C-alpha cells in the first residue's frame, strides 16, 4: 500500500518524517459545499461511512468535553478516543475523565510525552512558567503535539473528529467542517455551534461539565496555564497561556512556517 509522508515534531521540538497510510482522494471544496450546513450527527455519520476504522476522535476532557464524546459515541460507540495527558492536568480533570470514560464506555487511548515532566524541567526548565511564546511553544511541542502525532500514526488514522468551534479563536473562525491537517482529514461536527447549543445539548442528555466551570473557568487545560475568566478579559481564550497565545498547536496546520511558530493561534 502506498504511503504518505507527514512532518512530525519529536520530543525535542525538532522535525522528522513519519509515514501514514495514504488517504482516499476527496474533493474537500465540494464536500464542504454539500455538507457545510448539515447537522452534527449527519457529519459524524458521513465521517464513519467514509473512513470506517480510520476514524478517530480527540478529547481534552475540558469544560464541555461531554458534548462531543456523547455525540460521537452515540453513533460510533467504539471509536478510538485520543487523550493527550500532559502530566500537568488538574486533579479534577483526571476525575472528570474517569467519570466520562465509565459512563460513556469510552475506547480511551491515553498518550503522553516520552519525556517525563521531571526530566523536561531538569533539562529545559519550567517552560510553562516562562512568559514568552518560544518557551510555551516548546512546552506544547514536547507535551502535546508529539504525543498527538504519535497517536494518529499508531492508530493508522485517516480522519480525525475534533470539537473545535468557530467562536473560540480567530484561527477557528476560518475553518471549514471538513479539512486536512497533519496528513489526514479533519472533521469538525460542532464548528458552527455556540454556547447556547452546547448548554442545550448538555441539558437534553443530562451530561456533566467539568467542575472548574463552577469556579469561573470557560476553558481549562494544564493547571499552570489556565485561570478563571475575569471582567478584564476580552476573550475567553485570554485565560490560557498567560494570554500570550490562543492555540497550543494541536489544531494548527503544520506548514513549514506554522511548525516553526505556533503562536498564531487550542487544546
pLDDT digits (tens, 9 = 90+) for 54-66: 999 999 999 999 9
Starting from the edge strand earliest in sequence, which strands make up the sheet with 178-181, in order?
107-111, 80-84, 55-59, 159-161, 184-187, 178-181
- Establish whether 84 is a catalytic residue: no
Selecting among 106, 248, 262, 266, the annotated active-site residue is 248
Q: What share of the chain is helix, strand, coil (3-state, %, to 5)?
A: 40, 15, 45
Which of the 8 DSSP states describes residue 135?
H
* Span 92-139, pLDDT tens digits: 999 999 999 999 999 999 999 999 999 999 999 999 888 788 888 899
pTM: 0.79
Query: Which phi and psi angles does 76 have, rounded to 5°?
Result: -125, 80
Please, what are the domains in the chain? 3-260 (3.40.50.620)
Q: Strands, DSSP E only, in the chain?
A: 3-9, 15-21, 55-59, 80-84, 107-111, 159-161, 178-181, 184-187
Contact 18, 6 (CB under 8 A): yes
pLDDT at position 267: 29
Amino acid at each position: 500500500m502506498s504511503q504518505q509522508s507527514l512532518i512530525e515534531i519529536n520530543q525535542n521540538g525538532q522535525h522528522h518524517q513519519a509515514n501514514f497510510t495514504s488517504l482516499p482522494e476527496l474533493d474537500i471544496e465540494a464536500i464542504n459545499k454539500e455538507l457545510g450546513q448539515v447537522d452534527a450527527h449527519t457529519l459524524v455519520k458521513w465521517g464513519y461511512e467514509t473512513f470506517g476504522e480510520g476514524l478517530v476522535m480527540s478529547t481534552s476532557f475540558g469544560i464541555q468535553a461531554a458534548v462531543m464524546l456523547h455525540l460521537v459515541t452515540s453513533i460510533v460507540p467504539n471509536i478510538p478516543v485520543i487523550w493527550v495527558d500532559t502530566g500537568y492536568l488538574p486533579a479534577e480533570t483526571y476525575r472528570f475523565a474517569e467519570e466520562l470514560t465509565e459512563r460513556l464506555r469510552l475506547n480511551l487511548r491515553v498518550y503522553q510525552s516520552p519525556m517525563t515532566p521531571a526530566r523536561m524541567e531538569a533539562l529545559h526548565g519550567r517552560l510553562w512558567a516562562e512568559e514568552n511564546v518560544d518557551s510555551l511553544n516548546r512546552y506544547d511541542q514536547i507535551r502535546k503535539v508529539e504525543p498527538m502525532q504519535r497517536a494518529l500514526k499508531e492508530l493508522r488514522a485517516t480522519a480525525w473528529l475534533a470539537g473545535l468551534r468557530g467562536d473560540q479563536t480567530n484561527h477557528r473562525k476560518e475553518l471549514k467542517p471538513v479539512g486536512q491537517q497533519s496528513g489526514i482529514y479533519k472533521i469538525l461536527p460542532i464548528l458552527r455551534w455556540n454556547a447556547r447549543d452546547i448548554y442545550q445539548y448538555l441539558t437534553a442528555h443530562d451530561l456533566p461539565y467539568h467542575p472548574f466551570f463552577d469556579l469561573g473557568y470557560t476553558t481549562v487545560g494544564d493547571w499552570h496555564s489556565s485561570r478563571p475568566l475575569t471582567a478584564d478579559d476580552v476573550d475567553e481564550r485570554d485565560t490560557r497561556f498567560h494570554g500570550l497565545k490562543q492555540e497550543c498547536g494541536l489544531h494548527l496546520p503544520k506548514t513549514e512556517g506554522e511548525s516553526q511558530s505556533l503562536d498564531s493561534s487550542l487544546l
